[in-house]
Copies of this chain bind each other. A is one copy, B any other.
Amino acid sequence: MSDAASAQATRATIGDSEFDRDSAVTRREPGVYDIDLSADWTIFNAVNGGFLLAVAARALSDALPHDDPFSITAHYLTASTPGPAVVRTSVVRTGRTLSTGQASIFQTDADGNEVERIRVLASYGDLDSLPDDVRTTAVPPSFPPLEQCFGPDDSPEPLPGASAITDRLFMKLDPATLGWALGAPSGKGEVRGYFGLADGRDADPFSLLLTVDALPPTAFDLGLTGWVPTVELTAHIRCRPAPGPLRVSITTRNLAGGFLEEDAEVWDTAGRLVAQSRQLARARLA
């Protein structure tokens, strides 16, 4: 039985899944939260940036009067490692429909000093209160059927960049954007695929924050190799996603001066654009 099939058989639910368990924060005092960052969400030895963003977002969801991140920005300061961390939040402004807050994730170094990992600024609202109308005709990019796409479990060898987090994810990439894995990057700066959590949990606003930073970097499709550290990532969550696998498209238009932007669009099974993100990342030029 494939990983995907077994995931279907033991389908986890929102609130009761690996992702919910591992991204949960414990309130120590008002605005201050503890978490033990699991090694299960690492790429090489660093905790995945989207996962960290989800952790900060869950703390802010508790600290603010609104539950759902509408726009959330993180600046990545130092690499996070598995182990204890503290999330410190503060309320910037509360309003009727939106509230704004700030969060930082800290870890303690060998000398006992708190080191800041990421700084987050976000505005929250209530996705369920929004009208259902869609006024634009944006459509997702063309995706081949899921069964024609490839994931880490289809590869005889681990994909470049495969790491602990790979086992937590359901990811099937459009073969048209996978040439880099065979040494033939397209040069277009595009990666597309179906995405979910390996245990079958459906998407929610917090897992969307993981989703926008989980595909292999577009830099690979541009012929670059190695680490592409995120400087800053902003995600807009536009509606609560419908159940089922998401379609994710990431693109880069401008790799210049040693930096690149990476835009992600996430579409749900109902054909709605549920999240958009953009990050600025450093490129290691070959």
Instruction: Show the binding face of A for B, using Cβ within 8 Å.
Output: 70-71, 73, 75, 77-78, 92-93, 98, 100, 102, 116, 119, 121-123, 127, 130-136, 138, 189, 222, 231-232, 234, 236, 238-239, 252-261, 272-273, 276, 278, 280, 283, 285
Contacts and interface: CB of A to CB of B under 8 A. Distances in A.
Contact of A75 (B71, B138, B222, B238): B71
**Total identical chains:** 2
A73 B239 contact: no
Interface of A is mostly: strand
28 contacts: A71-B75, A71-B232, A73-B232, A73-B234, A75-B123, A77-B93, A78-B93, A92-B116, A92-B119, A100-B119, A102-B119, A123-B231, A123-B280, A132-B257, A133-B258, A133-B285, A134-B254, A135-B222, A135-B283, A136-B222, A136-B256, A236-B278, A238-B254, A238-B259, A239-B256, A254-B276, A256-B272, A256-B273
Contacts of A272: 256
Top 7 A-B residue pairs of the complex, sorted by shortest distance between their CB atoms: A130-B257, A71-B232, A138-B253, A135-B255, A134-B256, A73-B73, A121-B121
B136 A253 contact: yes
A218 to B, nearest CB: 10
A46 B70 CA distance: 24
A118 to B, nearest CB: 10
A119 B132 CA distance: 30
A151 B136 CA distance: 27
A64 to B, nearest CB: 12
A78 B260 CA distance: 32
Name the residue among A234, A239, A283, A285 with the largest chain B CB count within 10 angstroms: A234
A284 to B, nearest CB: 12
A179 B257 CA distance: 37
Contacts of A121: 73, 75, 119, 121
A261 B285 contact: no
A256 B238 contact: yes
Contact of A131 (B131, B189, B285): B285
B123 A232 contact: yes
Contacts of A119: 92, 100, 102, 121
Contacts of A134: 254-257
Given A121-B121, A134-B254, A136-B255, 17 more contacts: A73-B73, A73-B121, A73-B232, A98-B231, A123-B231, A130-B257, A131-B257, A131-B285, A132-B257, A133-B258, A133-B285, A135-B222, A135-B256, A136-B254, A236-B280, A254-B276, A278-B278
